Amino acid sequence: MQSQTPRLTPSSPEARIAAVVLAGGLSSRMGGGDKCLLPLGGRPMLAHVIGRIAPQVEAVVLNANGDAARFADFGLPVVADSIAGFAGPLAGVLAGMDWAAENRFSHIVSVAADTPFFPPRLVQGLRFACEAVGQPMAMVHSPRAGGGYFRQPTFALYDVADRAHLRAALQEGLRKVIQWAEPLGCAPIVFHGFGDDPFFNINTPEDLARAEGLI
């Protein structure tokens, strides 16, 4: 059941959009630790992500668990998961929603901390997708090499009005972004003209070497 809280569309004059950078992953294929703090082009990977999303929104918050002091140099609020255990990206989305609600933002856009090349008009595209089909959420879809599309669940726009519904779903054990978002109404958006794969994410040392070449 959808939230009964009155909604603002993401393009309405009263709408306020913040971004949550999801940095709470386990980074197991990188040997653990904070993958987003690894150097890329002479700066931490996270600096590239923040630099790309900050001009697109009113505020940026970082979702990460553990000691927040390790991110102090970035000057961002840091919010931890409120769901016990490693609940995946949805827990980070909820943490971002809670922060956004406390700070009077109507919507959040989630971005992954290990994906530094996403489009500079990501938020504009997500807002357009919501408006075009009248859905409360939007999610990036990327073309498959052999045809068709696959979803990018860590790149999406959410209505903060749905945070109680999300909290209940997480408490009931749901962990997949797509399983929660699509039944509520989630518009697809495909980005073209931003290189071969603007949503290429860095999971392995080999990926990091490839990213150095792309920088």
Q: E strand or H helix at 156, and its extent? A: strand 149-159
- Domain map of the chain by residue range? 17-214
| φ/ψ of residue 149, rounded to 5 | -140, 155
Q: How does pLDDT run along the chain (215 residues), one tens digit per residue?
A: 444 456 889 988 899 999 999 997 554 444 457 899 999 999 999 999 999 999 999 999 999 999 999 999 999 999 999 887 778 899 999 999 999 999 999 999 999 999 999 999 999 999 999 999 999 999 999 988 888 899 999 999 999 999 999 999 999 999 999 999 999 999 999 998 676 789 999 999 999 999 999 88
Q: Give the pLDDT score at 2.
A: 46
| Alpha carbon distance 95, 83 (integer Å) | 9
Residue 143, beta-bridge partner list: 149
Helix, strand, or coil here: 48? helix
User: Which residue, 145, 117, 121, 147, is CA-closest to 56?
Assistant: 121
Indicate yes or no: pTM above 0.75: yes
Distances (CA, A) of 85 to 7, 80, 108: 31, 11, 23
DSSP category for residue 171: H
Q: Give the pLDDT score at 76.
A: 97
Q: E strand or H helix at 95, and its extent? A: helix 89-102
Q: Which CATH class is domain 17-214?
A: alpha beta
pLDDT digits (tens, 9 = 90+) for 25-80: 554 444 457 899 999 999 999 999 999 999 999 999 999 999 999 999 999 999 99
Distant-in-sequence, close-in-space partners of 28: CB < 8 Å, separation ≥ 6:
none
Q: Give the pLDDT score at 28.
A: 46
Q: Is the dihedral of CA 199, 97, 24, 137 positive or negative?
A: negative
Strands 149-159 and 107-112: antiparallel
